[in-house]
Amino acid sequence: MDIRVAAYGVIIEGAQILLAHWNEHGRSGWTLPGGGIDPGEDPAAAAVREIREETGFEAEIDGVLGVDSFVISADRRLTPEATGPLHAIRIVYRARVIGGSLAYEENGSTDYAEWIALEQIPSLDRVSLVDIGLGYL
């Protein structure tokens, strides 16, 4: 079984949340900005790095909101070369913007980012992580 540990940020300003649009392997949806932790990287530092890469904003972590863990069966994995299940562990942080400006990731798993009204969340095409992150608040 493979394992992937990732770190994400829930960033809310007023009545808006900062989301990234994931677009990979023919699948897409809105998600929290964040992603995989590099070997030896601190999870909070990974969240800050990923937020910057995917949104252009510099962020500060305000604490852990929760940890989500699930197993993806081999037949549901996105990469065709995967031969077994994947255990995904997602650390979700509360974060806030401290600088930068909105920019889109190039050549990554997300294609743009946007501030979205919280009231629009129910109608968005989104991954489950958005609801999980908001549920921790």
The model's pTM is 0.92
Q: What pLDDT is recorded for position 104?
A: 87
**Which domains are assigned to the chain?**
2-135 (3.90.79.10)
| CA-based torsion, 72, 74, 75, 77: positive or negative | positive
Model confidence pLDDT, tens digit, residues 65-97: 999 999 998 888 877 677 889 999 999 999 999
Q: What pLDDT is recorded for position 45?
A: 98
Q: What pLDDT is recorded for position 88?
A: 95
Tell me the C-alpha to C-alpha distance, in Å, between residue 19 and each of 33, 87, 88, 115. 6, 24, 20, 6
Write out residues in the chain with pLDDT < 50, as ranges: none
Q: What pLDDT is recorded for position 74?
A: 85
